[in-house]
Amino acid sequence: MVIKPFDFYRTPRLVFGPSRIGELGQIAASHGPKVLVVTGWDSLDRAGTWRRCEESLRQASVRFHRYRFTGEPSPETVDDAVRECALLAANAVVAIGGGSVIDCAKAVAAMSPLGEPVTAYLEGVGTKTHPGKTLPFIAVPTTAGTGSEATKNAVISKVGKQGFKKSLRHDNFTPVCAIVDPELTLTCPPQVTAACGMDAFTQLLESYVSPQASPLTAALALSGMEHIASALIPASTNRGDDVTLRSCLAYAAFLSGVTLANAGLGIIHGLAAPLGGLVPIPHGIVCATLLAEACRMNIKRIQELRGPEDWVLIKYARAGQVLSGAPDADVPTSCDLLVQKLDEWTRQLSIPRLGHYGVSESDLDALAAQAGQKNNPIQLRADDIKAILRARL
């Protein structure tokens, strides 16, 4: 087999497993005595997680300031947190929370050495190129979905008709360490667990079928999909307190960050940005609600244009075999099984439709025009993209 040339970017030091949060203080202290800790508003307190984190930091004699915010990170939130970081003269930044918290803290670590507004450095918004200088950044995810604890970009949002969802990106922004403790996800509500798990699966599948995939990213993506396949439904329904299932999802989410950083994503994430800029819809819901329809459209177009034995269809088929537990099914059947299983997940997990968040037929032309194809395995037409969206209104 010929292996085409590829690059593989650095990954964080991974500290994985139940109760590993107790090592936070020691890890943070290795970067200096003062850290800015970025969190959500009060979910950590209600779950008892903040007490564990605070205790670990104090035991390691780390001086810290906690910066709290709600929702997805806006430019104003990042700039405000950068000012707090400067007042503390922090040696490092720690994020404890979901993907939005990790993205915010990643941007704060990156912008603190510059002391400038983040908007000037956002892709497609600003005109400046970030030099890559950043404070050490430690990510502690409390959900299993975005994989932001393993990526080199932070997504910053401004919601409204002139809104955007854009990335601050540099190879140096990958966290120096990710503490992935599945116990921290045990209190995630079922609907959050479901959306995050579908987000992680979307990232694994889109990177798996990406033209930029390598044998290394493909192996990691398959491993992640195998772990999600058996864990997502029970962890999101009647066995949310099962740390073994939570470990599977946390492991898969981390891998999804690694694979997306190295192989890229497709049309679903190309639609996530304009949708997230238009209406206040969680990123995980965008991925979850579009996943089955986007796969259906990609498979249909590839079959029509490139034939039933195209290499992408073989990959989609492999994913279908993993999800369905039918390893001997042929390629067309396995592709059908994949879409059927994703449809089934969407129903079982009661994933909301786009219309629930205010998206309407009148928005489809603009959304299709703004959508990025990214590393989608086939170039879709505007009508194809509108059909994906229309099916989930």
DSSP 182: G
Given a contact cutoff of 8 angstroms between Cβ atoms, the answer to whether 344 and 288 are in contact is: no
State the Cα–Cα distance between residues 4 and 212, nearest whole angstrom.
Answer: 10
Cα 172 off chain centre by: 18
Below-50 pLDDT ranges, the chain: none
Question: SS3 of 374, please?
Answer: coil
Predicted confidence at residue 165, as pLDDT, reads 86
CA atoms within 13 A on the CB side of 253: 35
Give backbone dihedrals phi and psi of 52, rounded to 5 degrees, phi first. -65, -40
Question: SS3 of 226, please?
Answer: helix
pTM: 0.95
**Among positive and negative, which fits the CA dihedral 312, 267, 178, 243?**
negative
Which helix H or strand E contains 196, and what residues bound it?
A: helix 190-208
- Judging by beta carbons within 10 Å of its beta carbon (0-12, 13-18, 19+), is residue 328 exposed, middle or buried? exposed
DSSP 211: T
State the Cα–Cα distance between residues 44 and 230, nearest whole angstrom.
Answer: 28
Q: What is the CA radius of gyration of the chain?
A: 20
For residue 14, give every residue at least 6 positions away whose Cβ sits within 8 Å of its Cβ, in sequence order, or none. 177, 178, 180, 254
Show the DSSP H helices in the chain as ranges: 24-29, 43-47, 49-59, 75-88, 99-111, 190-208, 215-236, 243-263, 267-278, 283-306, 311-324, 331-348, 364-370, 382-390
Predicted confidence at residue 47, as pLDDT, reads 92
Predicted confidence at residue 307, as pLDDT, reads 85
Predicted confidence at residue 163, as pLDDT, reads 80
**Among positive and negative, which fits the CA dihedral 112, 117, 119, 121?**
negative
Question: SS3 of 313, please?
Answer: helix
CATH number of 190-390: 1.20.1090.10
Domain spanning 13-185, CATH class: alpha beta
Residues linked to residue 279 through DSSP beta bridges, in sequence order:
none
C-alpha distances out from residue 111 to 83, 116, 133, 155, 173, Å: 10, 7, 8, 14, 10
Residues linked to residue 66 through DSSP beta bridges, in sequence order:
37
C-alpha distances out from residue 246 to 22, 241, 322, Å: 18, 8, 19
Strands (E), 176-285: 177-180
Domain ranges of the chain: 13-185, 190-390
Tokens standing for 163? 């809104």
Given a contact cutoff of 8 angstroms between Cβ atoms, the answer to whether 94 and 38 are in contact is: yes
State the Cα–Cα distance between residues 41 and 303, nearest whole angstrom.
Answer: 48
C-alpha distances out from residue 146 to 176, 192, 193, Å: 17, 12, 11
Predicted confidence at residue 224, as pLDDT, reads 98
27 phi-psi bin (left φ>0, alpha ψ -120 to 50, beta other): alpha
**Beta-carbon neighbour count of residue 51 at 10 Å?**
11
Which helix H or strand E contains 230, and what residues bound it?
A: helix 215-236
State the Cα–Cα distance between residues 23 and 7, nearest whole angstrom.
Answer: 32
**Separation of first and last alpha carbons in the chain:** 44
Given a contact cutoff of 8 angstroms between Cβ atoms, the answer to whether 359 and 278 are in contact is: yes
